[in-house]
Structure 1
Amino acid sequence: MEKSFIPVSEIIANQISDMIFIEKKYRPMDKIPNEKMLAEELGVSRTTIREAVKMLVANDVLTIQRGRGTFVTANPDKRNDPFGISYLKDKKNLVLNWFEMRLILEPASVRLVAERASDEEIKEIVRYERETAQLIKEGKPYLEADKKFHSAIAKATHNKVIELMLPAIEAAVRDAIITAAYVGTDKLSAENALVNHRLIAGFLEKRDADGAALAMYCHIKRGITDLES
Protein backbone atom coordinates (compact mmCIF):
# COMPACT_ATOMS: atom_id res chain seq x y z
CA MET A 1 0.00 0.00 0.00
CA GLU A 2 2.81 2.43 0.79
CA LYS A 3 3.67 4.87 -1.99
CA SER A 4 6.60 7.20 -2.43
CA PHE A 5 6.23 10.60 -0.77
CA ILE A 6 2.79 9.84 0.75
CA PRO A 7 2.37 8.76 4.40
CA VAL A 8 0.27 5.59 4.62
CA SER A 9 -1.72 7.25 7.41
CA GLU A 10 -2.79 10.02 4.99
CA ILE A 11 -4.08 7.46 2.50
CA ILE A 12 -5.91 5.55 5.24
CA ALA A 13 -7.47 8.78 6.54
CA ASN A 14 -8.73 9.37 3.01
CA GLN A 15 -10.20 5.84 2.86
CA ILE A 16 -12.00 6.25 6.18
CA SER A 17 -13.29 9.61 4.97
CA ASP A 18 -14.66 7.88 1.85
CA MET A 19 -16.48 5.38 4.09
CA ILE A 20 -18.26 8.33 5.69
CA PHE A 21 -18.86 10.71 2.79
CA ILE A 22 -19.20 8.43 -0.23
CA GLU A 23 -20.06 4.89 0.88
CA LYS A 24 -22.31 6.16 3.72
CA LYS A 25 -21.04 3.24 5.78
CA TYR A 26 -20.90 5.50 8.83
CA ARG A 27 -23.24 8.43 9.32
CA PRO A 28 -23.13 11.42 11.68
CA MET A 29 -22.97 10.31 15.32
CA ASP A 30 -22.23 6.67 14.36
CA LYS A 31 -19.53 4.80 16.24
CA ILE A 32 -16.77 3.48 13.99
CA PRO A 33 -14.90 0.18 14.61
CA ASN A 34 -11.99 0.14 17.03
CA GLU A 35 -8.34 0.32 15.98
CA LYS A 36 -7.89 -3.45 15.81
CA MET A 37 -10.92 -3.98 13.58
CA LEU A 38 -10.06 -1.10 11.24
CA ALA A 39 -6.45 -2.27 11.01
CA GLU A 40 -7.61 -5.75 9.96
CA GLU A 41 -10.15 -4.38 7.48
CA LEU A 42 -7.72 -1.96 5.81
CA GLY A 43 -4.62 -4.15 6.05
CA VAL A 44 -2.42 -1.76 8.02
CA SER A 45 -1.00 -1.48 11.54
CA ARG A 46 -2.92 -0.13 14.51
CA THR A 47 -0.36 2.69 14.71
CA THR A 48 -1.30 3.77 11.18
CA ILE A 49 -5.00 3.69 12.09
CA ARG A 50 -4.28 5.77 15.20
CA GLU A 51 -2.46 8.41 13.11
CA ALA A 52 -5.25 8.47 10.51
CA VAL A 53 -7.90 8.92 13.20
CA LYS A 54 -5.91 11.81 14.70
CA MET A 55 -5.96 13.55 11.31
CA LEU A 56 -9.72 13.10 11.00
CA VAL A 57 -10.26 14.33 14.56
CA ALA A 58 -8.19 17.43 13.76
CA ASN A 59 -10.41 18.02 10.71
CA ASP A 60 -13.59 17.65 12.78
CA VAL A 61 -14.69 14.50 10.93
CA LEU A 62 -14.30 12.19 13.94
CA THR A 63 -14.46 12.72 17.68
CA ILE A 64 -13.07 10.51 20.45
CA GLN A 65 -15.24 9.98 23.52
CA ARG A 66 -13.24 8.68 26.44
CA GLY A 67 -14.43 5.25 27.53
CA ARG A 68 -16.91 4.97 24.65
CA GLY A 69 -14.91 4.96 21.42
CA THR A 70 -14.58 6.99 18.24
CA PHE A 71 -17.61 8.56 16.57
CA VAL A 72 -18.43 10.49 13.41
CA THR A 73 -19.14 14.10 14.36
CA ALA A 74 -22.62 15.60 14.01
CA ASN A 75 -21.65 17.69 10.96
CA PRO A 76 -18.44 16.16 9.59
CA ASP A 77 -18.46 18.07 6.32
CA LYS A 78 -19.33 21.59 7.43
CA ARG A 79 -15.98 23.08 8.47
CA ASN A 80 -13.63 21.85 5.74
CA ASP A 81 -16.03 20.93 2.95
CA PRO A 82 -18.86 23.49 2.82
CA PHE A 83 -19.56 22.70 -0.86
CA GLY A 84 -19.91 18.93 -0.36
CA ILE A 85 -16.90 18.10 -2.54
CA SER A 86 -16.07 15.06 -0.38
CA TYR A 87 -19.24 13.41 -1.67
CA LEU A 88 -17.95 13.24 -5.26
CA LYS A 89 -17.10 9.64 -6.16
CA ASP A 90 -14.75 9.98 -9.15
CA LYS A 91 -11.54 11.06 -7.43
CA LYS A 92 -9.46 11.41 -10.60
CA ASN A 93 -12.10 13.58 -12.24
CA LEU A 94 -12.40 15.56 -9.01
CA VAL A 95 -8.67 16.31 -9.08
CA LEU A 96 -8.87 17.36 -12.74
CA ASN A 97 -11.68 19.73 -11.76
CA TRP A 98 -9.54 21.03 -8.89
CA PHE A 99 -6.73 21.67 -11.37
CA GLU A 100 -9.08 23.62 -13.66
CA MET A 101 -10.14 25.79 -10.72
CA ARG A 102 -6.51 26.33 -9.71
CA LEU A 103 -5.56 27.18 -13.30
CA ILE A 104 -7.97 30.11 -13.10
CA LEU A 105 -7.12 31.22 -9.57
CA GLU A 106 -3.48 30.60 -8.73
CA PRO A 107 -1.62 32.31 -11.63
CA ALA A 108 -3.64 35.45 -10.85
CA SER A 109 -2.90 34.98 -7.15
CA VAL A 110 0.87 34.97 -7.58
CA ARG A 111 0.58 38.19 -9.59
CA LEU A 112 -1.05 39.80 -6.56
CA VAL A 113 1.66 38.35 -4.30
CA ALA A 114 4.42 39.85 -6.45
CA GLU A 115 2.72 43.24 -6.18
CA ARG A 116 1.41 43.22 -2.59
CA ALA A 117 3.33 40.80 -0.37
CA SER A 118 5.74 42.03 2.27
CA ASP A 119 9.36 40.94 2.14
CA GLU A 120 8.69 38.66 5.12
CA GLU A 121 5.80 36.98 3.32
CA ILE A 122 8.01 36.34 0.29
CA LYS A 123 10.66 34.85 2.57
CA GLU A 124 8.04 32.57 4.11
CA ILE A 125 7.00 31.30 0.66
CA VAL A 126 10.65 30.66 -0.22
CA ARG A 127 11.15 28.84 3.10
CA TYR A 128 8.25 26.48 2.39
CA GLU A 129 9.55 25.92 -1.15
CA ARG A 130 12.94 24.88 0.23
CA GLU A 131 11.35 22.70 2.90
CA THR A 132 9.27 20.91 0.25
CA ALA A 133 12.31 20.47 -2.00
CA GLN A 134 14.41 19.01 0.81
CA LEU A 135 11.72 16.48 1.71
CA ILE A 136 11.31 15.43 -1.93
CA LYS A 137 15.07 15.00 -2.38
CA GLU A 138 15.17 12.82 0.74
CA GLY A 139 12.22 10.74 -0.50
CA LYS A 140 10.09 11.79 2.47
CA PRO A 141 6.39 12.77 2.62
CA TYR A 142 6.05 16.40 1.55
CA LEU A 143 2.27 16.93 1.52
CA GLU A 144 2.12 19.27 4.52
CA ALA A 145 5.00 21.42 3.25
CA ASP A 146 3.39 21.59 -0.19
CA LYS A 147 0.09 22.75 1.32
CA LYS A 148 1.93 25.39 3.37
CA PHE A 149 3.62 26.69 0.20
CA HIS A 150 0.33 27.21 -1.64
CA SER A 151 -1.44 28.50 1.48
CA ALA A 152 1.31 31.07 2.08
CA ILE A 153 0.81 32.31 -1.48
CA ALA A 154 -2.96 32.64 -0.93
CA LYS A 155 -2.46 34.57 2.32
CA ALA A 156 0.12 36.88 0.76
CA THR A 157 -2.39 38.07 -1.87
CA HIS A 158 -4.05 40.19 0.85
CA ASN A 159 -7.35 39.33 -0.80
CA LYS A 160 -9.93 38.31 1.79
CA VAL A 161 -11.97 36.16 -0.61
CA ILE A 162 -8.91 34.17 -1.67
CA GLU A 163 -7.96 33.74 1.99
CA LEU A 164 -11.45 32.37 2.69
CA MET A 165 -10.81 29.81 -0.05
CA LEU A 166 -7.79 28.40 1.81
CA PRO A 167 -9.56 25.15 2.84
CA ALA A 168 -10.43 24.53 -0.82
CA ILE A 169 -6.88 25.29 -1.97
CA GLU A 170 -5.40 22.96 0.66
CA ALA A 171 -7.91 20.24 -0.26
CA ALA A 172 -6.98 20.63 -3.93
CA VAL A 173 -3.27 20.16 -3.17
CA ARG A 174 -3.98 17.21 -0.85
CA ASP A 175 -6.24 15.42 -3.34
CA ALA A 176 -3.77 15.96 -6.20
CA ILE A 177 -0.86 14.40 -4.29
CA ILE A 178 -2.86 11.48 -2.89
CA THR A 179 -4.51 10.71 -6.24
CA ALA A 180 -1.09 10.79 -7.92
CA ALA A 181 -0.03 8.06 -5.49
CA TYR A 182 -3.09 5.96 -6.33
CA VAL A 183 -2.61 6.18 -10.11
CA GLY A 184 1.18 5.79 -10.01
CA THR A 185 2.22 9.31 -11.04
CA ASP A 186 3.50 10.34 -7.60
CA LYS A 187 7.12 10.65 -8.76
CA LEU A 188 6.05 12.89 -11.64
CA SER A 189 4.02 14.96 -9.18
CA ALA A 190 7.04 15.34 -6.88
CA GLU A 191 9.28 16.33 -9.79
CA ASN A 192 6.71 18.92 -10.86
CA ALA A 193 6.68 20.44 -7.37
CA LEU A 194 10.47 20.38 -7.13
CA VAL A 195 11.02 22.23 -10.42
CA ASN A 196 8.09 24.62 -10.58
CA HIS A 197 7.92 25.63 -6.91
CA ARG A 198 11.53 26.78 -7.27
CA LEU A 199 10.65 28.82 -10.36
CA ILE A 200 7.60 30.37 -8.69
CA ALA A 201 9.55 31.29 -5.55
CA GLY A 202 12.45 32.64 -7.60
CA PHE A 203 10.22 34.94 -9.65
CA LEU A 204 8.46 36.14 -6.49
CA GLU A 205 11.83 37.00 -4.93
CA LYS A 206 12.45 39.22 -7.98
CA ARG A 207 8.90 40.65 -7.80
CA ASP A 208 8.41 39.39 -11.36
CA ALA A 209 4.62 39.04 -11.60
CA ASP A 210 4.59 37.79 -15.20
CA GLY A 211 7.26 35.18 -14.54
CA ALA A 212 5.57 33.94 -11.36
CA ALA A 213 2.19 33.69 -13.10
CA LEU A 214 3.67 31.74 -16.02
CA ALA A 215 5.54 29.38 -13.67
CA MET A 216 2.36 28.73 -11.68
CA TYR A 217 0.41 28.11 -14.90
CA CYS A 218 3.05 25.61 -16.05
CA HIS A 219 3.03 23.93 -12.61
CA ILE A 220 -0.72 23.32 -12.67
CA LYS A 221 -0.86 22.49 -16.38
CA ARG A 222 1.82 19.85 -15.91
CA GLY A 223 -0.20 18.41 -13.03
CA ILE A 224 -3.08 17.89 -15.45
CA THR A 225 -0.81 16.35 -18.10
CA ASP A 226 0.85 13.98 -15.62
CA LEU A 227 -2.48 12.81 -14.19
CA GLU A 228 -3.87 12.12 -17.67
CA SER A 229 -0.72 10.29 -18.81
Structure 2
Amino acid sequence: MPPAAAPQRDAAAAPAPAPAAAPPAALQRDAAALVFAFLEAEELLHASRVCRAWRAIVAGAECEPAWAALCAAHGYPLLPRRDGPARLQFKEAHMAVLRERRIKRRIERMRAQSTVNNLARDVSRLREGRAAEQLANRRARADAAAAARLAQARASMQSWQLGVVRSAQEQLLRAEPINSEWRLRNLQQSIKESDAHLRTLERSIRTREQELAAARRRLGAISSA
Protein backbone atom coordinates (compact mmCIF):
# COMPACT_ATOMS: atom_id res chain seq x y z
CA MET A 1 0.00 0.00 0.00
CA PRO A 2 2.73 2.61 0.76
CA PRO A 3 4.50 2.07 -2.63
CA ALA A 4 1.24 2.85 -4.46
CA ALA A 5 0.77 6.13 -2.59
CA ALA A 6 4.17 7.53 -3.61
CA PRO A 7 3.20 8.37 -7.22
CA GLN A 8 0.08 10.12 -6.00
CA ARG A 9 2.18 12.32 -3.68
CA ASP A 10 4.56 13.11 -6.58
CA ALA A 11 1.67 14.09 -8.83
CA ALA A 12 0.18 16.33 -6.17
CA ALA A 13 3.55 17.95 -5.56
CA ALA A 14 4.08 18.73 -9.30
CA PRO A 15 3.37 22.41 -10.07
CA ALA A 16 0.32 23.19 -12.22
CA PRO A 17 1.03 24.60 -15.75
CA ALA A 18 1.02 28.38 -15.82
CA PRO A 19 -1.78 30.01 -17.80
CA ALA A 20 -0.84 31.42 -21.20
CA ALA A 21 0.24 35.01 -20.76
CA ALA A 22 -1.32 37.65 -22.97
CA PRO A 23 1.07 39.17 -25.52
CA PRO A 24 2.64 42.36 -24.21
CA ALA A 25 1.55 45.71 -25.53
CA ALA A 26 4.84 46.16 -27.40
CA LEU A 27 4.23 42.92 -29.30
CA GLN A 28 0.72 44.06 -30.20
CA ARG A 29 2.09 47.36 -31.45
CA ASP A 30 4.68 45.54 -33.56
CA ALA A 31 1.99 43.27 -34.96
CA ALA A 32 -0.17 46.26 -35.79
CA ALA A 33 2.77 47.93 -37.52
CA LEU A 34 3.39 44.80 -39.60
CA VAL A 35 -0.30 44.55 -40.42
CA PHE A 36 -0.49 48.05 -41.79
CA ALA A 37 2.87 47.81 -43.51
CA PHE A 38 2.06 44.72 -45.58
CA LEU A 39 -1.65 45.00 -46.30
CA GLU A 40 -3.57 47.32 -48.60
CA ALA A 41 -6.51 49.36 -47.34
CA GLU A 42 -8.99 47.26 -49.33
CA GLU A 43 -7.74 44.13 -47.58
CA LEU A 44 -8.05 45.75 -44.18
CA LEU A 45 -11.75 46.29 -44.82
CA HIS A 46 -12.23 42.50 -44.91
CA ALA A 47 -10.57 41.77 -41.58
CA SER A 48 -13.65 39.94 -40.30
CA ARG A 49 -12.92 37.05 -42.68
CA VAL A 50 -9.67 36.01 -41.00
CA CYS A 51 -8.73 34.65 -37.60
CA ARG A 52 -9.87 36.05 -34.27
CA ALA A 53 -6.38 37.17 -33.23
CA TRP A 54 -6.08 39.16 -36.43
CA ARG A 55 -9.46 40.79 -35.83
CA ALA A 56 -8.42 41.67 -32.28
CA ILE A 57 -5.27 43.37 -33.54
CA VAL A 58 -7.00 45.29 -36.33
CA ALA A 59 -9.92 46.43 -34.18
CA GLY A 60 -7.86 47.03 -31.05
CA ALA A 61 -6.90 50.33 -29.55
CA GLU A 62 -3.27 49.83 -30.57
CA CYS A 63 -4.26 50.16 -34.22
CA GLU A 64 -6.13 53.43 -33.81
CA PRO A 65 -3.03 55.54 -34.63
CA ALA A 66 -2.46 53.41 -37.71
CA TRP A 67 -6.08 53.90 -38.81
CA ALA A 68 -5.74 57.63 -38.22
CA ALA A 69 -2.55 57.62 -40.32
CA LEU A 70 -4.41 55.78 -43.08
CA CYS A 71 -7.17 58.39 -43.00
CA ALA A 72 -4.58 61.13 -43.31
CA ALA A 73 -2.73 59.31 -46.10
CA HIS A 74 -5.94 58.92 -48.13
CA GLY A 75 -7.12 62.43 -47.39
CA TYR A 76 -10.16 61.35 -45.40
CA PRO A 77 -11.28 63.81 -42.72
CA LEU A 78 -10.85 62.33 -39.24
CA LEU A 79 -13.67 63.39 -36.94
CA PRO A 80 -13.38 63.58 -33.15
CA ARG A 81 -13.33 60.41 -31.09
CA ARG A 82 -16.98 60.72 -30.10
CA ASP A 83 -17.99 60.15 -33.74
CA GLY A 84 -16.52 56.68 -33.72
CA PRO A 85 -13.11 55.02 -33.84
CA ALA A 86 -10.75 55.87 -36.66
CA ARG A 87 -11.13 52.36 -38.06
CA LEU A 88 -14.88 52.78 -38.68
CA GLN A 89 -14.41 56.31 -40.01
CA PHE A 90 -11.82 55.05 -42.46
CA LYS A 91 -14.07 52.18 -43.49
CA GLU A 92 -17.05 54.44 -44.18
CA ALA A 93 -14.98 56.99 -46.09
CA HIS A 94 -13.16 54.33 -48.08
CA MET A 95 -16.34 52.46 -48.95
CA ALA A 96 -17.79 55.72 -50.29
CA VAL A 97 -14.67 56.19 -52.40
CA LEU A 98 -14.92 52.62 -53.67
CA ARG A 99 -18.57 53.11 -54.63
CA GLU A 100 -17.69 56.28 -56.52
CA ARG A 101 -14.80 54.46 -58.16
CA ARG A 102 -17.07 51.61 -59.26
CA ILE A 103 -19.56 54.08 -60.72
CA LYS A 104 -16.81 55.90 -62.61
CA ARG A 105 -15.41 52.59 -63.86
CA ARG A 106 -18.88 51.54 -65.04
CA ILE A 107 -19.34 54.84 -66.87
CA GLU A 108 -15.86 54.53 -68.38
CA ARG A 109 -16.63 50.99 -69.51
CA MET A 110 -19.91 52.12 -71.09
CA ARG A 111 -18.13 54.92 -72.94
CA ALA A 112 -15.43 52.53 -74.13
CA GLN A 113 -18.09 50.07 -75.33
CA SER A 114 -19.88 52.89 -77.16
CA THR A 115 -16.61 53.89 -78.83
CA VAL A 116 -16.03 50.29 -79.92
CA ASN A 117 -19.55 50.03 -81.33
CA ASN A 118 -19.25 53.32 -83.23
CA LEU A 119 -15.87 52.37 -84.68
CA ALA A 120 -17.18 48.94 -85.66
CA ARG A 121 -20.08 50.58 -87.50
CA ASP A 122 -17.68 52.97 -89.24
CA VAL A 123 -15.46 50.10 -90.36
CA SER A 124 -18.47 48.15 -91.62
CA ARG A 125 -19.78 51.19 -93.51
CA LEU A 126 -16.37 51.85 -95.06
CA ARG A 127 -16.04 48.23 -96.14
CA GLU A 128 -19.48 48.34 -97.75
CA GLY A 129 -18.49 51.55 -99.54
CA ARG A 130 -15.27 49.91 -100.71
CA ALA A 131 -17.18 46.92 -102.07
CA ALA A 132 -19.61 49.20 -103.94
CA GLU A 133 -16.74 51.30 -105.30
CA GLN A 134 -14.87 48.19 -106.44
CA LEU A 135 -17.98 46.99 -108.26
CA ALA A 136 -18.40 50.38 -109.97
CA ASN A 137 -14.70 50.37 -110.82
CA ARG A 138 -14.95 46.96 -112.47
CA ARG A 139 -17.98 48.07 -114.46
CA ALA A 140 -16.22 51.25 -115.58
CA ARG A 141 -13.19 49.24 -116.66
CA ALA A 142 -15.40 46.84 -118.60
CA ASP A 143 -17.15 49.76 -120.30
CA ALA A 144 -13.80 51.38 -121.05
CA ALA A 145 -12.52 48.15 -122.57
CA ALA A 146 -15.64 47.97 -124.74
CA ALA A 147 -15.17 51.60 -125.77
CA ALA A 148 -11.54 50.89 -126.65
CA ARG A 149 -12.60 47.95 -128.82
CA LEU A 150 -15.15 50.20 -130.51
CA ALA A 151 -12.54 52.88 -131.20
CA GLN A 152 -10.23 50.26 -132.64
CA ALA A 153 -13.03 48.96 -134.84
CA ARG A 154 -13.77 52.48 -136.10
CA ALA A 155 -10.11 52.97 -136.97
CA SER A 156 -10.09 49.64 -138.75
CA MET A 157 -13.15 50.64 -140.79
CA GLN A 158 -11.53 53.87 -141.89
CA SER A 159 -8.38 52.11 -143.06
CA TRP A 160 -10.07 49.31 -144.94
CA GLN A 161 -12.30 49.79 -147.96
CA LEU A 162 -13.28 46.21 -148.67
CA GLY A 163 -17.00 45.75 -148.61
CA VAL A 164 -17.00 42.46 -146.71
CA VAL A 165 -14.81 43.85 -143.99
CA ARG A 166 -16.85 47.07 -143.82
CA SER A 167 -20.09 45.11 -143.52
CA ALA A 168 -18.71 42.95 -140.72
CA GLN A 169 -17.36 45.98 -138.87
CA GLU A 170 -20.68 47.84 -139.21
CA GLN A 171 -22.49 44.90 -137.64
CA LEU A 172 -19.97 44.95 -134.77
CA LEU A 173 -20.49 48.68 -134.29
CA ARG A 174 -24.25 48.33 -134.14
CA ALA A 175 -23.90 45.64 -131.47
CA GLU A 176 -21.69 47.80 -129.23
CA PRO A 177 -23.57 50.05 -126.74
CA ILE A 178 -20.81 52.71 -126.67
CA ASN A 179 -20.72 54.96 -129.70
CA SER A 180 -18.63 58.00 -128.80
CA GLU A 181 -15.02 58.80 -128.08
CA TRP A 182 -16.13 61.23 -125.38
CA ARG A 183 -17.72 58.32 -123.62
CA LEU A 184 -14.36 56.56 -123.55
CA ARG A 185 -12.62 59.64 -122.16
CA ASN A 186 -15.28 60.05 -119.49
CA LEU A 187 -14.93 56.40 -118.54
CA GLN A 188 -11.16 56.69 -118.27
CA GLN A 189 -11.53 59.76 -116.07
CA SER A 190 -14.10 58.01 -113.88
CA ILE A 191 -11.72 55.07 -113.50
CA LYS A 192 -8.97 57.41 -112.27
CA GLU A 193 -11.34 59.02 -109.80
CA SER A 194 -12.58 55.61 -108.67
CA ASP A 195 -9.01 54.40 -108.11
CA ALA A 196 -8.26 57.50 -106.03
CA HIS A 197 -11.45 56.99 -104.04
CA LEU A 198 -10.54 53.35 -103.42
CA ARG A 199 -7.11 54.35 -102.12
CA THR A 200 -8.75 56.86 -99.78
CA LEU A 201 -11.18 54.20 -98.58
CA GLU A 202 -8.34 51.76 -97.95
CA ARG A 203 -6.48 54.33 -95.84
CA SER A 204 -9.65 55.16 -93.91
CA ILE A 205 -10.37 51.48 -93.29
CA ARG A 206 -6.84 50.83 -92.01
CA THR A 207 -7.03 53.86 -89.72
CA ARG A 208 -10.44 52.87 -88.36
CA GLU A 209 -9.35 49.27 -87.86
CA GLN A 210 -6.34 50.44 -85.85
CA GLU A 211 -8.56 52.70 -83.76
CA LEU A 212 -11.03 49.84 -83.27
CA ALA A 213 -8.27 47.48 -82.13
CA ALA A 214 -6.98 50.08 -79.65
CA ALA A 215 -10.51 50.73 -78.37
CA ARG A 216 -11.09 47.00 -77.88
CA ARG A 217 -7.82 46.67 -75.97
CA ARG A 218 -8.82 49.59 -73.76
CA LEU A 219 -12.26 48.06 -73.19
CA GLY A 220 -10.65 44.75 -72.26
CA ALA A 221 -8.31 46.48 -69.81
CA ILE A 222 -11.22 48.34 -68.21
CA SER A 223 -13.35 45.19 -67.98
CA SER A 224 -10.55 43.14 -66.41
CA ALA A 225 -9.57 45.85 -63.91
TM-score, normalised via structure 1 length: 0.19
- Structure with bigger helix share is 2
- Radius of gyration: which is bigger? 2
TM-score, normalised via structure 2 length: 0.19
Higher relative contact order (CA 8 A, sep 6+): 1
